Chain A
């Protein structure tokens, strides 16, 4: 545990003190080394749930894939930001990497927390670096609005969580995840207990996001710089899913009835947001709405609490993290060349940048859940477990998958195929750095086809 945490903490002084010429290469190599170290966590013996256990932190089948994803993402963010940050003064560059690293630290602590209060504090702490990244390095004036939405939606959802956790501590006596699973089920019968149930879940539902509370996400994703979009889409949304999976233990038996509206909202959100994707003109906005759509499936799966649905949710979280981050990186390569996110102005790119088309193709196929990619594994398990829970959900999930295929192909065809406009004839050829960035996203996704047990959670 500490073998990954301490190097990440020591990355902070490195960022501040290293010579200017070597800043990006040093931080990149260092964070790559940390991510390789984090792969050691993948050895998870099935018998003991918790491994790498110490007083405050531990990893188990649920948190390990998310931790590895978090550690993997830092070098990718550094590669992605290198180009647009090169124009900035050196101190701002250092501050930027500092913010990314501190975000990484908080995320590692959040995912490996064994105590719910620590998880809560780290959950809130991740808001601060993200807010800085969005509002300071975003591109347009709307970023202030986006930052406000992001901060206040999440805060408003999570303050009830604090109260709920403290109440839980009072009644059960502990908030340690290791022992919470062994407590007696709580006598949850009064009306106040229903509010407590909602308070526990609301923060995570806003974070996921659930369809009704998703307004912060398109703004935050679109206005953030590329590194901000990557970490938001890949990991921060999954914090909500992870938190929900952890807290669901304690929420029985109310979940049987109270979860209905949220499952409906989540599934309806899948269809609504995928339909919105078909009408988007802004490429990043399209990818942001597709994130909401996929997370709707994850939210519904977590709320029905079956082993298969949890497995499906976890697989989809990991696969979506990699795919969404890859799509944002691809959109950024477009943006850096044409300075516009409007899809209608950058079309027919297959003629100009053919290898980039291959990456667009793979990422779009991953987004529409093509077998044998883990995206499909997750979606199939979620759809099947939801079908088992109620056959009627098949209408919603099936339609959602159909529209997902529709907008993924629409995005691919709109950007890559068709006649090239006259103003894109001479573009910078793709840098090796950009090829590296996308392949580092897609190769883990492809390798996971071969060993999906790593991200299956507790299901053997």
Chain B
């Protein structure tokens, strides 16, 4: 879309229709006129070649007499009738999996992949509403390894996601690091985590309160016992750019994008008996019913595999296959433990706030903030208490929440923030894993050919490159190869053995 905007302005023919004296056409042309001031100075023939050719084809089709075959072709927006892998959910996780699957297919054109996304404006998607941070300061080694691998990926992103002939990817990765603060009672946990992180290869440094005050003089170190600062591979980046980079590269490799909603599955059921005599219905998905937006038209896509990357809504998708709808105590009765949880992010403006080297600060009360841009803006938020979860029916922002829960603690921690103004705010969903707030990657015992990759609970964006690679390895190689994520499989949900992550923001 962007090149066409620029092209329209520079073409000299743009002024001719106006001079023909047809006011309607003139009016339409000014409406199309681009108001952007940053256009390219020259016509790039090769960049606009695609548009020229498409325009020529359209003109030719219009010039020739209408063909009766035209109406028989049907809706071109429908997904293909069959595909090898259908990825439900076009967020960063879905597109990452699509990219890695194409990367790992051994021959060009080996796997036919369709990514189904119901809202291409991504108005409710967790990816683009994320704060965009990446950190290795987790307590679970798997999470640390996932973040390290993803950081390595996004540092070399143009090697991976660069497309020939297109602009290079610029994620605006600010390497400022995360700064976690710990109180007296939690300091020993921070030390344990520090050891785990160092062992896993993360570059983290522990700071005493005086060292902290020296490094970041704007922090109030009153009740801080220990601080942990990530020195490398930590910071924040632009999630929208990463999503589009994955999407552009995957589409250039042949993945088909479909705008539609998965409403149902067609599956066959195999009835099996366990050794204890319990009856199990193992389902095998044959078709995915994709419904077109604002329409009753749907297309059953015949597929071999389905990947559930639907994020906050993956629990609903799993319910379509009967997960969680069985009797209590049976395997089918265990629901997929991912549900959407609303989180607010507020943009505040504070001209006297901390400077450029501000890390992503996370206080022990849960309040976090980070610098946004170069104009004295910061984004801040906090995870609500367990009992005070906001309603997930909409994405409305509650500004009272900022006044009550965030501002006091923020001002306590950074005195400069006593004078700030809330510029705006937004809300997004965490795909919250109610069991242990960690990802669920793998298959479900009762569904033969569905892979899950959700439940990241707020750290999906930063894990997306490595998690996408892990799922692609599961599918193509049969097992995890680079990172062993077997502990993050579905079995722990069935056994009710949570693999807890102690450092959830």
By a beta-carbon cutoff of 8 Å, the part of chain A in contact with chain B is 139-141, 279-281, 338-340, 342, 344-348, 418-428
CB pair B478–A418 under 8 Å, yes or no, is: yes
Q: Does B81 contact A (CB under 8 A)?
A: yes
CB pair B478–A421 under 8 Å, yes or no, is: yes
| 19 A–B pairs (Cβ distance < 8 Å), ordered by A | A140-B80, A140-B81, A280-B107, A281-B109, A338-B449, A339-B82, A342-B84, A342-B110, A344-B110, A344-B111, A345-B84, A345-B305, A420-B478, A422-B475, A422-B478, A423-B304, A425-B448, A426-B272, A427-B448
CB pair A428–B107 under 8 Å, yes or no, is: no
CB pair A424–B448 under 8 Å, yes or no, is: yes
Q: Which residues 442-469 of B sit at the A interface, judged by CB distance below 8 A?
A: 442-443, 448-451
CB pair A279–B107 under 8 Å, yes or no, is: yes
CB pair A426–B284 under 8 Å, yes or no, is: yes
Q: Does B286 contact A (CB under 8 A)?
A: yes
Instruction: Tell me the complex Cα distance, A450–B80, Å.
Output: 49
Q: Which residues in A have their C-beta under 8 angstroms from that of B272?
A: 426
Instruction: Tell me the complex Cα distance, A428–B449, Å.
Output: 13
Instruction: Tell me the complex Cα distance, A419–B84, Å.
Output: 19
Chain B 432-450 interface 0/1 with A at a Cβ cutoff of 8 Å (1 = within): 0000000000110000111
CB pair A344–B106 under 8 Å, yes or no, is: yes
Q: In the complex, what's the smallest C-beta–C-beta distance from A87 to chain B, in angstroms?
A: 11
B111 interface neighbour in A140, A342, A425, A428, Cβ under 8 Å: A342
Q: Does B244 contact A (CB under 8 A)?
A: no
Given contacts A338-B449, A423-B305, 5 further A-B contacts (CB under 8 A): A140-B81, A342-B304, A344-B111, A423-B443, A424-B448
Nearest 7 CB-CB pairings of A with B: A340-B304, A281-B110, A423-B449, A419-B478, A422-B443, A281-B107, A426-B448
Instruction: Pick from B82, B111, B304, B476 the residue with the most CB of A within 10 Å.
Output: B304
Q: Does B270 contact A (CB under 8 A)?
A: yes
Residue of A nearest to B112 (CB): A342
Instruction: Pick from B284, B302, B476 the residue with the most CB of A within 10 Å.
Output: B284
Q: Does B26 contact A (CB under 8 A)?
A: no
Q: Does B303 contact A (CB under 8 A)?
A: yes
Q: Which residues in A have their C-beta under 8 angstroms from that of B112?
A: 342
Q: Which residues in A have their C-beta under 8 angstroms from that of B80?
A: 140-141
CB pair A348–B304 under 8 Å, yes or no, is: no
Q: Which residues in B have their C-beta under 8 angstroms from that of A422?
A: 442-443, 451, 474-475, 478
Q: Which residues in B have their C-beta under 8 angstroms from that of A140?
A: 80-82
Q: Which residues in A have their C-beta under 8 angstroms from that of B106?
A: 281, 344
Q: In the complex, what's the smallest C-beta–C-beta distance from A347 to chain B, in angstroms?
A: 7
Q: Does B231 contact A (CB under 8 A)?
A: no
B105 interface neighbour in A141, A280, A344, A428, Cβ under 8 Å: A344
Q: Does B196 contact A (CB under 8 A)?
A: no
Number of A-B contacts (CB under 8 A): 79
Q: Which residues in B have their C-beta under 8 angstroms from that of A420?
A: 478
CB pair A339–B110 under 8 Å, yes or no, is: no
CB pair B270–A426 under 8 Å, yes or no, is: yes
Residue of B nearest to A421 (CB): B478
Q: Does B365 contact A (CB under 8 A)?
A: no
Q: Does B158 contact A (CB under 8 A)?
A: no
Q: Does B479 contact A (CB under 8 A)?
A: yes
Q: Does B7 contact A (CB under 8 A)?
A: no
Known: A344-B105, A420-B478, A421-B475. A339 touches B302 (CB 8 A): yes
Q: Which residues in B have their C-beta under 8 angstroms from that of A348?
A: 478
Instruction: Tell me the complex Cα distance, A281–B477, Å.
Output: 15
Instruction: Tell me the complex Cα distance, A449–B154, Å.
Output: 62
Q: In the complex, what's the smallest C-beta–C-beta distance from A419 to chain B, in angstroms?
A: 4
Instruction: Tell me the complex Cα distance, A428–B284, Å.
Output: 10
Q: Which residues in A have their C-beta under 8 angstroms from that of B107?
A: 279-281
Q: In the complex, what's the smallest C-beta–C-beta distance from B78 to chain A, in angstroms?
A: 11
Q: Does B397 contact A (CB under 8 A)?
A: no
Q: Does B157 contact A (CB under 8 A)?
A: no
Q: In the complex, what's the smallest C-beta–C-beta distance from B86 to chain A, in angstroms?
A: 11
Instruction: Tell me the complex Cα distance, A345–B451, Å.
Output: 13
Q: Does B171 contact A (CB under 8 A)?
A: no
Q: Which residues in A have their C-beta under 8 angstroms from that of B282?
A: 426
Q: Which residues in B have their C-beta under 8 angstroms from that of A280?
A: 107
Instruction: Tell me the complex Cα distance, A426–B274, Å.
Output: 14
Q: Which residues 309-363 of B sit at the A interface, judged by CB distance below 8 A?
A: none
Q: In the complex, what's the smallest C-beta–C-beta distance from A144 to chain B, in angstroms?
A: 11
Q: Which residues in B have their C-beta under 8 angstroms from that of A338?
A: 304, 449
Instruction: Pick from B442, B449, B450 the residue with the most CB of A within 10 Å.
Output: B449
Q: Which residues in A have their C-beta under 8 angstroms from that of B110?
A: 281, 342, 344
Residue of B nearest to A341 (CB): B84
Instruction: Tell me the complex Cα distance, A348–B105, Å.
Output: 17
Q: In the complex, what's the smallest C-beta–C-beta distance from A322 to chain B, in angstroms?
A: 29
Instruction: Tell me the complex Cα distance, A140–B305, Å.
Output: 18
Q: In the complex, what's the smallest C-beta–C-beta distance from B266 to chain A, in angstroms?
A: 11
Q: Which residues 135-149 of B sit at the A interface, judged by CB distance below 8 A?
A: none
Q: Which residues in B have their C-beta under 8 angstroms from that of A347?
A: 478
Instruction: Tell me the complex Cα distance, A419–B474, Å.
Output: 11
Q: Which residues in B have their C-beta under 8 angstroms from that of A425?
A: 448
B286 interface neighbour in A139, A339, A421, A423, Cβ under 8 Å: A339
Q: In the complex, what's the smallest C-beta–C-beta distance from A441 to chain B, in angstroms?
A: 26
Instruction: Tell me the complex Cα distance, A424–B84, Å.
Output: 14
Instruction: Tell me the complex Cα distance, A450–B478, Å.
Output: 43
Q: In the complex, what's the smallest C-beta–C-beta distance from A386 to chain B, in angstroms?
A: 32
Q: Which residues in A have their C-beta under 8 angstroms from that of B270?
A: 426, 428
Residue of A nearest to B104 (CB): A344
Residue of A nearest to B108 (CB): A281
CB pair A345–B304 under 8 Å, yes or no, is: yes
Q: Which residues in A have their C-beta under 8 angstroms from that of B284?
A: 426-427
Q: In the complex, what's the smallest C-beta–C-beta distance from A410 to chain B, in angstroms?
A: 12
Q: In the complex, what's the smallest C-beta–C-beta distance from B366 to chain A, in angstroms?
A: 37
Residue of A nearest to B446 (CB): A426
Instruction: Tell me the complex Cα distance, A181–B393, Å.
Output: 87
Q: Which residues in A have their C-beta under 8 angstroms from that of B109?
A: 281
Q: In the complex, what's the smallest C-beta–C-beta distance from B195 to chain A, in angstroms?
A: 34
Instruction: Tell me the complex Cα distance, A290–B235, Å.
Output: 54
Instruction: Tell me the complex Cα distance, A348–B85, Å.
Output: 19
Q: Which residues 105-132 of B sit at the A interface, judged by CB distance below 8 A?
A: 105-107, 109-112
Instruction: Tell me the complex Cα distance, A340–B448, Å.
Output: 14
Chain B 361-396 interface 0/1 with A at a Cβ cutoff of 8 Å (1 = within): 000000000000000000000000000000000000
Q: Which residues in A have their C-beta under 8 angstroms from that of B449?
A: 338, 423-424
Instruction: Tell me the complex Cα distance, A88–B99, Å.
Output: 37
CB pair B448–A423 under 8 Å, yes or no, is: yes
